Structure 1
């Protein structure tokens, strides 16, 4: 028997790949960010996808907040344009 979580993950996989590729490419515009990792945190019916970026220099928290806002806004718009808003609701960006 397939669980709701398994169904959700299967449905989200193409969106996850598209989102991950775009956020990785877009983050290359910021010297303050290093490697990105993605973690999955399952719940009963859904799961959250956490995209975390390594900080690579002495960038101020204020500047990191601006970078976070810029990436978040870009990814929301990207998700809307590419029809993956449902995935975006379960994606989190940590810097």
Structure 2
């Protein structure tokens, strides 16, 4: 019997900061959605924040470049900058998958 259901019950809260509808922003969102569907099933929420519309929101998560992905929950908070095209790097960076040696 699996007593560790905590990880399965966790809803991953992900925040993607972009600046407009650029190719990098579109790619980052598409890559993120694909990784989440493949690895987190229905246990995630993606909030997209366009800094051209809400520039004041960059300060809260100390966003210096876009696109930037911020994992809010589960802790620790993690950030990944770029179009998220390297799946292994993204999954390891978010602690979804352990690093392979």
TMscore range, shorter length: 0.3 to 0.5
Q: Normalising to structure 1: TM-score of the pair?
A: 0.35
Question: Normalized per residue, which structure has more helix?
Answer: 1
Q: Normalising to structure 2: TM-score of the pair?
A: 0.33
